[in-house]
Amino acid sequence: PAVVYLSRWKNHPRWSCAFLESIAFHDAGRDFDLLYVLKGFPPGEDDPALRAHPGDVRACVTEFRISDEGYDLNAYLRVAAQFEHRRMLFFNSYSRILARNWLASYVTAFDSAPNCGIVGATGSFETIPGTTFPNVNVRTNAFMIERELFLSVDPGPLVTKGDCNRFEAGPESLTRQIGRRGLEPLLVDRFGKPWCVSEWPVSRIFRSGRQEALLVADNRTHHYAVAGPAKRLRLARLA
């Protein structure tokens, strides 16, 4: 499988450092190709975090340069169109892996259900305009999907951040389009356990408990982790 990481020129290098350190520290449990997307980097400029990282990480890296136009999902779709891996696992700039055998956990979860269409590290029932609760959606970070399936869905225009939010959680979301094809969304936790939709509220993955079972952290999981009791309860209710 391809592991796709998005590094933005405008971001502080600590984010890409944290991601690279997390994959170096936590054995994936499977071989993979790391497709390292350099978004908005000037010609000739490299990511200093990647340049400084150990050779065993750099050895599996293919760099892919794109302009800084568009959003994460635009970049993911361009990578999917460019490369030919059967499955792809997409990480945004703020991702940080928290447990060993993380890639093996994704693959095992994917293979655990014959009609699985997508495996995410986090998911929610939160509504946005045009949807009703529970609005089942796998968050579009740290998710694994078949490349051809990803390219076959209709993402809409993806011109604004709102467009991206709608593709993640709107009436024509990625999860909903996959579901209409008879395919199931799953979440996977840090222990390798797959969770079906009805179990998400008690999974302790995203805005559940203290997120003890979270496999991949990002900026949104951090907001919940550092919130006080009242805000944490409000975020949990939204999810």
pLDDT of residue 46: 87
pLDDT of residue 54: 60
* Phi and psi, residue 186, nearest 5°: -130, 155
CA angle 213, 175, 166 (to 5 degrees): 105
**Range of lowest pLDDT (49-58, 95-104, 188-197, 204-213):** 49-58
pLDDT of residue 51: 80
Residue 59 in this model has a pLDDT that exceeds 60? no
Largest CA distance in the chain: 48
Q: Summarize the confidence of residues 138-163 as an average pLDDT.
A: 97
Burial-class residue 221 by CB neighbours within 10 Å (0-12, 13-18, 19+).
buried
Residue 56 in this model has a pLDDT that exceeds 70? no
Task: Give this prediction's pTM.
Answer: 0.96
CA angle 159, 165, 167 (to 5 degrees): 80
Neighbours of 24 (CB within 10 A): 13
pLDDT of residue 84: 95
Q: Summarize the confidence of residues 100-107 as an average pLDDT.
A: 98
Residue 60 in this model has a pLDDT that exceeds 90? no
Burial-class residue 190 by CB neighbours within 10 Å (0-12, 13-18, 19+).
buried
User: What is the share, in percent, of the chain residues with pLDDT greater than 70?
Assistant: 97
Residue 18 in this model has a pLDDT that exceeds 60? yes
- Tell me the C-alpha distance between 209 and 225, whole Å: 10
CA-wise closest residue to 123 among 176, 163, 172: 176
Residue 123 near residue 143, CB atoms below 8 Å: no
